[in-house]
Structure 1
Amino acid sequence: MTVKVVIIGGGSSYTPEIIEGLVARHDQFPISEIALVDIEQGRAKLQTIEQLAQRMVAKSGKPIKVTAHFDRRQALEGAHFVTSQIRVGGLKAREKDERIPLSHGLLGQETNGAGGIFKALRTIPVLLDIAEDMAAICPDAWLLNFTNPAGMVTEALMKHGKHKQVIGVCNIPFNMRTGVAEVLQCETNDVEIEFVGLNHFIFGRRVLIKGEDRTEEVLEKLKDPDNQYSPANIVSEGWSDLFLSAFKLLPNPYHSYYFKGASMLEKSIEDYNKNGTRAEVVQTVEESLFKKYDDVTLDHKPEELEQRGGAYYSDAACNIMTSIFNDSGDVQTVNTLNNGAISDLPDDAVIETNALIGKQGPRTLSIGKLPLGVKGIVQLMKNMEELVIEAAVTGDTHYLYQALLINPLVRDEALAETVMNELLEAHKDDLPQFYKNV
């Protein structure tokens, strides 16, 4: 059987991660073709990635063909799996998402706050177009969406897209598992975390090591500032004894934006004054990465890629594809429909949760009620996501304003309006749904 994987956003600096993952799993997941897709503006980067991917495959000796495309519909023909890692507007758009809120004293990042909302507004319509193409060209293929904000994008696809075989992917749960493994000095594969919540707003309710509950031990060790885990794009400041003791939940790195807002804002402003926005830092990292990628002797993923913040992406995405292909029925953490897993959220809400992964896709494991201490804020965040999705689909600024106002990182009537108007103007070219009647 031939298996084709299409990578939309193939010119991304992340792509060597997934190439490495696909090559490593070839014995269990025997793909025959990797089709890289990008837009014309990304031609140079796509060509660089295509050549690097070909060198990586050649080094492995695996019989995999690597192709590059600017015609998405053509690339989708015969696809079994499609991954999405796009950035509408590029890193320059992310720079605006971070700089404009920060100029008003608001935390802004590509997945949360006002910046995260506007990245969703730019991204959702494009993913809906991709879903429409897949429904017509490769209706049996699975779409694995890694594009942030992954939870919102996945829910928009499930509610409004023509293609329903969609799974949201994030590296944070895997990052948390590897972090726990480091804290407890054990193997990552021995770590199981019972996750509850939403993408980038997920908590660990229980930690099991080879089936043994070690939750209290992990929480106790996390009280030590030296025992922290965090991706490259978030600096962890640790958590207080009281926070960990009171909630008895394993936080994820993005919770710092919500529960340590004052210190994170201070740090963000300090970083901005010293280095510019995170987007500007990433542009420098990418420039360095692509210089390495252009080296015709390079035939592997460089270690510097982990500075980009996407470490473990290949493990998350490739494990899911391998499990679907082999109908494995193993447990993985994905973004998928709630379907009763969390009784405090609607069935059609997308949550980040543990699920059994097989040829029929994810089957969520029952969670029950949300922990009382975080029930209200998780429901608020889900309500905010629903409003963002409606704004993205309809171009209605009333939905957008409501989403900004109830977002915990905005929560100010005047600032919500000001930031909304400034970001709408800044991203005008990439938000046609808001200007269709102008």
Structure 2
Amino acid sequence: MRLVVLGGGGFRVPLVYGALLGDRGEGRVDEVVLYDTDPLRLRTIARVLADQAATSATTDAPRVRVTTDLDTALRGADFVFSAIRVGGLEGRATDERIALAEGVLGQETVGAGGIAYGLRTLPVVDRIARRVAEVAPDAWFINFTNPAGLVTEAMSRHLGDRVIGICDSPVGLGRRVARALGADPATVEVDYVGLNHLGWLRGLRVDGKDELPRLFTSAALLESFEEGRLFGADWLRSLGCVPNEYLHYYYFNREAVRAYQQADLTRGAFLHGQQARFYARAADPTVPALATWDEVRAEREATYMAESREAAGAGERDEASLTESGGYETVALALMRAIARDERATLVLNVRNRSTLAGLDADAVIEVPCRVDSRGAHPLPVDPLPAHALALVTGVKAVEREAMAAADAGSRAGAVKAFALHPLVDSVSVARRLVDGYARAHPGLAYLR
């Protein structure tokens, strides 16, 4: 089975390959094609993968090919995994800087930064979706490119239900809550619903019984895991559910923006510098590629969402939080197994709504538990969201739709509308200045007129 990785020179690709090395099932991936527009990054990551294969216990590691030609990569694909970053980490750092200068959040998937990133990315993924539909119409497309919900919905216009978005945040949240309650994460059923990076864990069933109410009876239990420390026991009790960690940017927006503004480096700037050093070092054939990658990855994971934890007084990210995330590569592998082998599984995925969530239309991509089999991902029924959550979901979905319309029409006025309507951008004047600033900084936004 052939897996194509778009963004194959990306830093986290070895996570995917590591998961494949551990898969011993029948019909497993035996060929990986890495596609990227940067030959140096491709060669560097290919070196890391070669080290992984050499140190693995398996004797038949998936063979690896690299290419900078998209059609060549796509031909014969069974699955296509996308983790591209249009504009690179330099673009992310620029997104953050311009937003923070206006006093609004610049995070890459939330608020102004997410819209800017989306507007750069939408024309590119639209072209990719058209090529997939033409060159590899039978392939399943697994999207991890951010903003994941927006990108998945845009691509679904060409690929239908054969594009499925993934994220490891809901998986990690469910596992951490299960551990806090003394349950086995592998056996629980989660009631989770929302959009990507905008969802809520509303129930956690063990042998059919919802154990989540027990969590709210104890402040010690509530603050024993990452999200509990991030949001605080009192706020979680008020909500009666556990939000995805990215909702900290909404519920504590002023504190988050202030923490970003006071940080020595934004997350994007930190990662840009860190990865630039990694690729420069690992390009040297005398440097052990995998050992260098492992060292950099550990630092990256330990500093994840550092600004939000600082704003909340949540302290350092603990070791259990790092190991409970599950990893997007684990989600991707489980999804591929379920489809390719008809190994039925229940996974939280980004899929078209149909009639699942009241308040949104059929084509809106949402993030919910799905039953997966050889025919794809099928969203499971969910209860309606409470008014406060539905307001956020519908508001952000409206912004995503405005961003898609602006990208389709190449409309600067449409881009301003998308920014201005976002709950975390509180001024049309600020929206106009953001569009002007981003258009000056990013050649990829020259299409907006």
Equivalenced residue count is 421
Partner amino acid for 2:350? N
Instruction: Identify which of 32, 46, 50 aligns with 1:50.
Output: 46
Aligned to 2:163: 166
Check 1:362–1:107 CA distance in 2 against 1; reply closer, same or farther (3 A cut). same
The CA deviation at 1:267 is 1.1
Cα deviation digits, residues 307-350 of structure 1 (max 9, x gap): 43596011111111111111122110110000101122111100
Tell me the TM-score normalized by structure 1. Answer: 0.90
Aligned to 2:82: 84
Query: Matched residues, percent identical?
Result: 31
Greater shift after overlay, 55-64 or 122-131?
55-64
Structure 2 CA distance for aligned equivalents of residues 332 and 82 of structure 1? 18
Structure 2 CA distance for aligned equivalents of residues 303 and 203 of structure 1? 33
Q: Does 1:118 align with 2:100?
A: no
Q: Does 1:32 align with 2:30?
A: yes
Structure 2 CA distance for aligned equivalents of residues 133 and 168 of structure 1? 18
The CA deviation at 1:188 is 2.5
Structure 1 CA distance for aligned equivalents of residues 385 and 178 of structure 2? 25
Aligned to 1:6: 4
The CA deviation at 1:228 is 3.1
Aligned to 2:394: 379
Aligned to 2:381: 366
Contact 1:128/1:162, CA 8 A, preserved across alignment: no
Check 1:169–1:104 CA distance in 2 against 1; reply closer, same or farther (3 A cut). same
Give SS of 2:415's match.
helix
Q: Does 1:100 align with 2:98?
A: yes
Contact 2:108/2:117, CA 8 A, preserved across alignment: yes
Q: Does 1:392 align with 2:407?
A: yes
Unaligned stretches of 5+ residues in structure 1: 231-235
Structure 2 CA distance for aligned equivalents of residues 50 and 7 of structure 1? 12
Check 1:262–1:217 CA distance in 2 against 1; reply closer, same or farther (3 A cut). same
The CA deviation at 1:26 is 3.4
Tell me the TM-score normalized by structure 2. Answer: 0.88
Instruction: Identify which of 222, 237, 249 aligns with 2:241.
Output: 249
Structure 2 CA distance for aligned equivalents of residues 132 and 222 of structure 1? 51
Structure 2 CA distance for aligned equivalents of residues 68 and 415 of structure 1? 43
Residue correspondence of structure 1 range 318-357 to structure 2 within 5 A: 318-357=333-372
Structure 1 CA distance for aligned equivalents of residues 273 and 225 of structure 2? 26
Give SS of 1:375's match.
helix
The CA deviation at 1:150 is 0.2
Structure 2 CA distance for aligned equivalents of residues 374 and 239 of structure 1? 16
The CA deviation at 1:300 is 10
Aligned to 1:431: 445
Structure 1 CA distance for aligned equivalents of residues 79 and 17 of structure 2? 14
Alignment RMSD: 2.3
The CA deviation at 1:211 is 3.4
Structure 2 CA distance for aligned equivalents of residues 179 and 37 of structure 1? 34
Cα deviation digits, residues 197-246 of structure 1 (max 9, x gap): 1000011111123433111223445676742326xxxxx85224442222
Aligned to 1:128: 126
Partner amino acid for 1:50? A
Contact 2:338/2:373, CA 8 A, preserved across alignment: yes
Check 1:225–1:188 CA distance in 2 against 1; reply closer, same or farther (3 A cut). closer
Partner amino acid for 2:253? G
Partner amino acid for 2:266? T
The CA deviation at 1:293 is 8.4
Check 1:119–1:333 CA distance in 2 against 1; reply closer, same or farther (3 A cut). same
Instruction: Identify which of 185, 193, 197 aligns with 2:194.
Output: 197
The CA deviation at 1:103 is 0.8
Partner amino acid for 1:267? A
Give SS of 2:333's match.
helix
Structure 1 CA distance for aligned equivalents of residues 238 and 398 of structure 2? 25
Check 1:363–1:89 CA distance in 2 against 1; reply closer, same or farther (3 A cut). same
Contact 1:181/1:187, CA 8 A, preserved across alignment: yes
Give SS of 1:158's match.
helix
Cα deviation digits, residues 156-210 of structure 1 (max 9, x gap): 1113x35651001111111212322342344321333211110000111111234
Aligned to 1:239: 231
Give SS of 2:242's match.
coil
Aligned to 1:233: none
Check 1:164–1:207 CA distance in 2 against 1; reply closer, same or farther (3 A cut). closer
Aligned to 2:250: 258
Partner amino acid for 1:316? V
The CA deviation at 1:404 is 1.1
Give SS of 2:29's match.
coil
Check 1:44–1:219 CA distance in 2 against 1; reply closer, same or farther (3 A cut). farther
Q: Does 1:211 align with 2:208?
A: yes
Partner amino acid for 2:271? V
Structure 2 CA distance for aligned equivalents of residues 258 and 303 of structure 1? 33
Contact 1:221/1:227, CA 8 A, preserved across alignment: no
Contact 2:282/2:292, CA 8 A, preserved across alignment: no
Partner amino acid for 1:327? D
Cα deviation digits, residues 369-419 of structure 1 (max 9, x gap): 222331212111111111111112221123222221121111212111111
Unaligned stretches of 5+ residues in structure 2: 305-324
Contact 2:181/2:221, CA 8 A, preserved across alignment: no
Aligned to 1:404: 419
Structure 2 CA distance for aligned equivalents of residues 344 and 95 of structure 1? 35
